Amino acid sequence: METNGSNAKKRPSRAPAVKVGVKLRERRAALSLSQMQLAVMSGIALNTLQRAEAGDFTYRTAVRLAPHLDLAPADLLPGVKV
């Protein structure tokens, strides 16, 4: 059975999440923090921070990271009211 493109479900774009990951990485670098330093300060695992910087993060991760980056959680979660 053939399917046409009009019936296929589209995945949401990861572009906004990747942009947030870039923002995380840039902000961490601007504060001269290593990934390990930020992970320890925020109480998250290093691999969780690495995933967040790649655009794969949760609300909880953003909330835990934001204060250590001198940001509000809303700055990391565009479109989400915190």
What does the domain layout of the chain look like in residue ranges?
15-75
> Tokens 């046409």, residue?
4
pLDDT at residue 74, as a whole number: 85
For the segment 48-67, what is each residue's pLDDT rounded down to a tens digit?
Answer: 999 999 988 888 999 999 99
Q: Report yes or no: 62 and 18 within 8 Å, Cβ to Cβ.
A: no
Which CATH superfamily is 15-75 part of?
A: lambda repressor-like DNA-binding domains (1.10.260.40)
Measure Cα distances from 23 to 11, 46, 80 in Å: 23, 17, 16
pLDDT under 50: residue ranges of the chain: 1-2
